[in-house]
Structure 1
Amino acid sequence: MFRIAICDDVKEVCDEIKNIILENKELQNEKIEIDIFNNGETLIEELRENTQYDLIFLDIELGEINGVEVGHIIRDNMEDYTTKIVYISGKNSYDRQLFDVQPIKFISKPIEEEKVIKAVLLAIKISDKENKAFEFKNFKSTVKVLYSEIIYFESDKREIKIVCVKETYRFYGKMEEIKKHLPEFFIQPHRSYIVNYKQIKHFKPDELIVFTGDRITISRSKRREIKEIQIKYEKKRMEDEFD
């Protein structure tokens, strides 16, 4: 089941997006469930009840709590870095702080059917990739961790530490072998670290800051490479967001 929340203070906008999704032929084979919220407060309350959504269409210009604040509550307070967010707005310009929430797209009003469907298909595609897991042996048991839950790997001699959203694991292995089995959105800024690009909150010339607040060193020899990777990903993200 792919769960979608639509949050806009205009009921007609919520109904329009819902009908576009449910009536689209490309999505007929997907099992989709949609909930509607007309303010940020009720959406946050539902999320705090541990309701999980794969995708949230979120109006920027909400009432008392606007969409920017809701996005930061989801990312920073709830530490939810996996739910996909699509911002909706009647404006064509966006504040830089929106990008800290890492939305996958922006959709302008009036709503265009094609852009809604592209957003849903992109969210499904990303979720399918992230729902694959990294597998390793921890003592005598085999552990599987979703790629989306991994923040970074850190090596200390023969031991590997995996820092995840909710837990930290340790096992014996080699970084070069681990890198071979990871998707391309994992990058290596230092020989002792492999980082999930999607878990990076800030880039600095000599370090990365992930959503947990941990600081990952970028080695001098890797700085140019990491900068090029950042430019490539940000360019692609901008193209996806405004496509």
Structure 2
Amino acid sequence: MNILIAIIEDESIYAQQLTEILEHWAKQLNCTISLDYFKNANSFLQTNFNSYDVAFLDIQLDETMDGLSLAQFMRKDNYQGSIIFLTSYKEYVFQGYDVQALHYLLKPVKEEDIKKCMNMVYQLTKENNYIIQNNAQTIKIPYHQILYFSCANHYMEIYTSEATYSQKAKLTDIISHLPYHFAQCHRSILVNLNHVDKIVKNEIFLSNGTKLPISNTHLEDVRKTFLDTIL
């Protein structure tokens, strides 16, 4: 699994220290990381920042937008990843709660603290993403992007808001590992109820206009689970 990491830090000495710790952690855990470094919030916001699994934010950025303001902007833009604050001042410790910060670390950061944070990020990344492993390729798909799964001839098609993926798998192989908001609506289809606009008789209407069938066998369960997700 590849974990995407962003470091937004205006002091290069701290960014380099953090980078070395993260690379050491990844080597010990035998996972891969992709790490990008930004000296200010503006350059970070010019990227597709929602793709990062974790963002390390320096609170005292040397510009108009500090780390707290940056975190608030990210959450308003539906950033789903982990936020970890870095600072030299203890008095900022309580200011990260309104943006659901994963942790608050004092500089210079300690390796053991970073490892604890990254172990949590690793677990959250697995829980928040569907992982496809085909031969030497590993693909990570955020669950919130998946519209539905469709199975035929021992192959699973994963339809997302941006692309369609394929893997060799059966519906029974994955159904028990998915979040609660995925429901089986047909013998060969699993739907993400967070993308359902409405249910009319035996049809599901998705947010992108797609219509999916509901078999009588699954109709009651789908309706109940759908109501649970919106109430």
- Both structures adopt the same fold (TM-score exceeding 0.5): yes
> 2 CA distance for matches of 1:19 and 1:47?
24
What amino acid does structure 1 have at the position aligned with 2:60?
Answer: E
1:18 shift after superposition = 0.4
Structure 1 gaps, min length 5: 180-187, 195-215, 218-243
Q: Decide whether the 8 Å contact of 1:155 with 1:175 is kept in 2.
A: no
Structure 2 gaps, min length 5: 131-142, 151-155, 161-177, 182-191
> 2 CA distance for matches of 1:46 and 1:28?
28
Label 1:37 to 1:136 Cα distance change in 2 as closer, same or farther (>3 A): closer
Label 1:119 to 1:178 Cα distance change in 2 as closer, same or farther (>3 A): farther
Measured against aligned partners, the alpha-carbon deviations of 1:33-52 in whole angstroms (never above 9, x if no partner) come to: 2121122122112337xx83
Label 1:178 to 1:7 Cα distance change in 2 as closer, same or farther (>3 A): farther
Figure out how many residues of one structure are paired with residues of the other and give that number. 177
> 1 CA distance for matches of 2:93 and 2:86?
13
Task: With the length of structure 1 as denominator, give the TM-score of the two structures.
Answer: 0.57
Alignment match, 2:133: none
Alignment match, 2:20: 19
1:22 shift after superposition = 1.3
Matched, 1:32 2:67: no
What amino acid does structure 2 have at the position aligned with 1:46?
Answer: T
Measured against aligned partners, the alpha-carbon deviations of 1:157-198 in whole angstroms (never above 9, x if no partner) come to: 7565666xxx5766435574699xxxxxxxx8xx8132xxxx
Select the residue among 118, 136, 153 that pairs with 2:116: 118
> 1 CA distance for matches of 2:102 and 2:194?
19
Identical-residue share of aligned pairs (%): 22
> 1 CA distance for matches of 2:99 and 2:10?
20
Runs of 4+ deviating beyond 6 Å: 152-155
1:65 shift after superposition = 0.7
Alignment match, 2:85: 87
1:101 shift after superposition = 2.4
Alignment match, 2:126: 128
1:13 shift after superposition = 0.9
Task: With the length of structure 2 as denominator, give the TM-score of the two structures.
Answer: 0.59
Q: Decide whether the 8 Å contact of 2:87 with 2:105 is kept in 1.
A: yes
Alignment match, 1:193: 228
Q: Aligned-pair RMSD on alpha carbons?
A: 3.8
Q: Decide whether the 8 Å contact of 1:154 with 1:192 is kept in 2.
A: no
> 2 CA distance for matches of 1:175 and 1:68?
45
> 1 CA distance for matches of 2:204 and 2:38?
43
Label 1:168 to 1:93 Cα distance change in 2 as closer, same or farther (>3 A): farther
Q: Which aligned pairs between 1:224-243 and structure 2 lie closer than 5 A?
A: none
| 1:24 counterpart SS class | helix
Q: Decide whether the 8 Å contact of 1:154 with 1:193 is kept in 2.
A: no
Measured against aligned partners, the alpha-carbon deviations of 1:93-121 in whole angstroms (never above 9, x if no partner) come to: 44766333222222222311111112122
Q: Which aligned pairs between 1:49-198 and structure 2 lie closer than 5 A?
A: 52-63=51-62, 64-76=64-76, 79-94=77-92, 98-132=96-130, 133=143, 135-136=148-149, 144=159, 151=194, 156=199, 171=212, 172=214, 174=219, 176=221, 192-194=227-229
